[in-house]
Amino acid sequence: MQMSYLTRLGVTISVLITSCFISVVPVSAQSDAADDAKRRINLAGRQRMFSQRMSKAACFILTGVEVEKHEKMLQKTYDLFAVTNDALSNGSDTLELKPERNPAVFVALTRVQKRWDDFAPKVQTVLDNPDIDVATLADLNASGLALLKDMNTAVNFIAKTYGDQLPELPLILAVTIDLAGRQRMFTQKMSKDFCLIDAGVEPDANRADLEATAQYFTATLDALIDGFPGAVMAAPNDDIHAKLLEVKALWKEPAAVLQAAASGGPISEADRLLIADKMEEVLVTMNEAVKLYEFVDGTERR
């Protein structure tokens, strides 16, 4: 019997937190180290989203959906990924990150760099010649998924490492920021899967993936709003709670279109434009929620 999503979510997080007891450590103020760690989890998590955003943009270019917009998106995301990847290791005043000093985290980021070294030239090929074929798109997608896998491992490791080390950053908060950040990636992965189905790239596999990812997104969003005992912190303040409810409201319309596509239904031009535009609204609002978590301290509760 397959486990429900929330059961799998609990199992996944239990791996992150191992056997340690989750508690909130009272502190009077957040340290610079805790602020930097929360920023690091946020930006590393954003890299996951970028990995799928680039593949999504390339797919919409191929299928002729708002081509100029997606060409600009591809270039901007490519540049931001490269800059952020360097900043996570070496620090950046612009991105407000200190150089990474933890050797194990640095190794995880080095693995990501190797994946990026493989993926980046494939993206550059699309930037140089947007008139790509389905085979080129499929190759780009496979490379982007490999990058996502290593980036996700790195983010999980960063969250656990700093959640274990910093008393001002309870592990449950670090993991919650990780999971909130992952929601941004899901918006892009779902949009990409929808587009891949439309483009004829492994439609059966991508329908299954789209349906599963939509379930993950919905269940995680509910867990972020209401909490998941011992694993996910409920929205810790009214601003975050309200922002997550905005996400939930925005998600309703594209969710129906994505579910229809995952079920094998036809995809119309109106569907293409709706997913291209409305999922951007979901992404932007979810990103606003993640940023708010950077200002949560270890004692905050609604």
Question: Hey, what are 12's tokens?
Answer: 């996944």
pLDDT-based confidence at 298, cuts 50/70/90?
Answer: low
Give per-residue pLDDT as tens, 98-151. Answer: 999 999 999 999 999 999 999 999 999 999 999 999 999 999 999 999 999 999
* 17-44 exposure pattern, b = at least 16 Cβ within 10 A, e = fewer: beeeebebeebeebeeebbbbbbbbbbb
Question: Hey, what are 277's tokens?
Answer: 């535009």
* pTM > 0.75: yes
Can you tell me whether residue 97 is helix, strand or coil? strand
Query: What is the distance between the alpha carbons of residues 48 and 45, in angstroms, rounded to a whole number?
Result: 5
| Residue 15 pLDDT > 70 | no
Query: What is the distance between the alpha carbons of residues 228 and 235, in angstroms, rounded to a whole number?
Result: 11
What one-character DSSP code corresponds to residue 92? B
Give per-residue pLDDT as tens, 46-92. Answer: 999 999 999 999 999 999 999 999 999 999 999 999 999 999 999 99
Mean pLDDT over the full length of the chain: 90
Average pLDDT over residues 19-33: 45
CB-CB contact of 241 with 225 (8 Å): yes
Average pLDDT over residues 23-51: 78
| Residue 25 pLDDT > 50 | no
DSSP-H helix ranges across 166-202: 171-199
CB-CB contact of 97 with 87 (8 Å): yes
What one-character DSSP code corresponds to residue 83? H
Query: What is the distance between the alpha carbons of residues 127 and 295, in angstroms, rounded to a whole number?
Result: 37
Phi, psi for residue 48 in degrees, rounded to 5: -55, -45
Q: Which amino acid is at 224?
A: L
DSSP-H helix ranges across the chain: 5-17, 32-62, 67-90, 103-128, 134-165, 171-199, 203-226, 238-262, 269-293
pLDDT-based confidence at 297, cuts 50/70/90?
Answer: confident
Average pLDDT over residues 7-31: 41
CB-CB contact of 293 with 240 (8 Å): yes
Average pLDDT over residues 172-201: 97
CB-CB contact of 53 with 77 (8 Å): yes
pLDDT-based confidence at 38, cuts 50/70/90?
Answer: very high
The domain segmentation of the chain, as residue ranges, is 31-293
